[in-house]
Structure 1
């Protein structure tokens, strides 16, 4: 696979994920992840240092399997996640996609993101922004799925609840 193909696949994967989250299409969103996918949003130790040890340091989100992401979806569908009701309306935008390595069936890449969200209950708009570092792998057919995704949230102050649907 050449870099142009890898770039297109990585960019398409991110755009598809953002659109699925914006449409609240949880099942299709979950299908973008392998069963053993790692989903991580590290915290910040200080102004310049991210956490690196999920067992000893605070992470904003840490999941080691797709089933754990499914648990979050189930909570939202059951309306037991009262802090997120009603869900904000979101628009995910990604840019600056950079393929770091590409080989047949595997792409490692990074990208920038901005998520605009409107909270109907609070009548407030917020913006979350940062970087994604991710690895996608090709599975049966042409399906590409996340093997791992790390979201580095750059906001100094997090204006709202952070969950999978708004980062």
Structure 2
């Protein structure tokens, strides 16, 4: 995440955060354990146009979250630095409880198709695409982060939402990112 995309908007919303407060959990606290199997998602769906992340199990909706995306969200990710959130079917490739943003879940972008397309265009595909909470030290922004698309291509949620997602999503879970 680039600081230049985050600092200006945060300074604009800081007074609002003081007025309205946040729904975030404590930053820096231990990662939550997994919930019981019946409450875990077997599919994560991100709908970019609706700025929505849905956790599903057997086609049943478990939870829905409003998200922020890459700073240039329209269209599929084509190269490193384009500010787009990828589109396609991937998997949750790992979890990082010690990320620079609260509780990151790594998405398996780029896959072989993404790497081939970037190679054909002569550009790097980018990587380190995550679902994550707010950057460490900025939990006070809370739900106000949704006012803009501020990530470099990730899917951003509040810290409390990141904790809930982290507890319901296992490594290997499919993620479908739609336009």
Give the TM-score of the pair, scaled to structure 2.
0.27
Give the TM-score of the pair, scaled to structure 1.
0.29
Greater RCO structure (CA 8 Å; 6+ sep) = 2
**Larger strand proportion of the pair:** 1
